[in-house]
Homo-oligomer: A and B are copies of this chain.
Amino acid sequence: MTDRKLKVAIVGLGRMGSIHATNFAYFVPRAEVVAVCDVRDESLQWAKENLPPTVKGYKDVEEMFKTSGAEATLIVTETSRHAPLAELAMSYGLHVLLEKPISVDLETSRRVVETAKKYPNLKAMVAFVRRFDDSNRELKALVDSGKLGKLHTLRSGSNDQYDESGFFVKFSATSGGLFTDVGVHDIDQARWMCGVPNGCPNPKQEISRVFAIGQAVQHPELAQLGDADNGFGIVEFTNGVNAILHLGRIARNGHECYLEVYGTECRVNVNNDAQANKLEIRDLHGVRKESHQTHFARFKEAFVKELQDFTACVLDDRPLPVNLQDALEASKIAYALTLSFRKGVPVFFDEQGEIIPPQ
């Protein structure tokens, strides 16, 4: 195990970028943040006040990639810039940790996957944070141990606390909509828990069929956009496991996020009770626990672990837990669910693992 630190540059200091930057700077002992990039003055000012003084601020990302000495970059910008920035970083020889998704557009995602193949020495990971959660990992270990018996069903849910501003209506087009924006985490999770390595007859064709329904409960205007604020997706894996995903943006108690795997011997649920902490409160409202308010809060520790693991994979040249191809596969399933929801029919995959466009 090398003793040196990985030099990291971060692109984007928005809400999520600043969390990542803080985590990278103070909670990843094997990494050193050498540079950050954002076009906004106030973001660079924030970095000056909150990150170690050795971190250099840039407005020009290409200049940063060229001159900062970084070996790896974390890209946490708006979605549309993910793909070109990842390609640019690789062209400068940088390992890449990319916020999800690669792109809302499948062709672009596919192109980035192809580009990455030209740089076999560079690591490129997409930040599917749930793979780094301790409880999810304990569940994965149980699944792999065989203690659940033969797997047959996965049930998961992600329901953001309702934000009355309805910001997601405005971003519906650019975010990819409910099944992509909220769903891709659940899809990746399902693939990880029950997917490929669990006995698909044709590994290329991981999925046989998907079906989805959706509603515009709080924001009827979503219907015109082909989007929904609450929906269910069914994903049938060719290895026999069925996944049922509940996705939404209208929970009241907080960010709801559960994952359940059923085997013939037992079933295990992560976060069934949606409790943010160990406090049980008894007052006039009954006996209660508070839920996490956000996905950030629920996966607070996993966001740190993700950076630590990426850093270790690069420094020690170990395989990544999740790569660009995984992200592409998840995006394809998300898109197939969106298609199914919009057309009202099941959507099938062919033997090459590609979506068969419904008529």
Contacts and interface: CB of A to CB of B under 8 A. Distances in A.
Interface of A: 3, 26-27, 29, 52-53, 134-135, 138-139, 142, 150, 152-153, 155, 209, 211, 213, 215, 217-218, 230, 232, 234, 236, 240, 242, 244, 246, 250-254, 256, 262, 264-275, 277-291, 344-346
Contacts of A269: 279-280, 282
A218 B284 CA distance: 17
Nearest to A53: B3
A278 B287 contact: no
A277 B134 contact: yes
A290 B26 CA distance: 32
B287 A266 contact: no
Given A152-B230, A230-B153, A253 B52 contact: no
A281 B264 contact: no
25 contacts: A134-B277, A138-B279, A139-B279, A152-B215, A155-B246, A211-B234, A215-B240, A217-B264, A244-B246, A252-B264, A252-B265, A252-B282, A253-B266, A253-B282, A253-B285, A253-B287, A266-B281, A266-B282, A266-B284, A267-B281, A270-B278, A273-B287, A282-B291, A287-B290, A288-B288
A211 B346 CA distance: 9
A250 B264 contact: yes
A242 B266 contact: no
A178 to B, nearest CB: 14
A252 B268 contact: no
Contacts of A281: 266-268, 286
A245 to B, nearest CB: 11
A271 B211 CA distance: 28
Contact of A267 (B138, B264, B282): B282
Nearest to A270: B278
Contact of A284 (B152, B153, B232, B253): B253
B274 A218 contact: no
A273 B277 contact: no
Contacts of A139: 279
A65 to B, nearest CB: 26
Given A217-B264, A253-B283, A253-B285, 6 more contacts: A142-B279, A232-B244, A266-B281, A267-B283, A270-B280, A286-B290
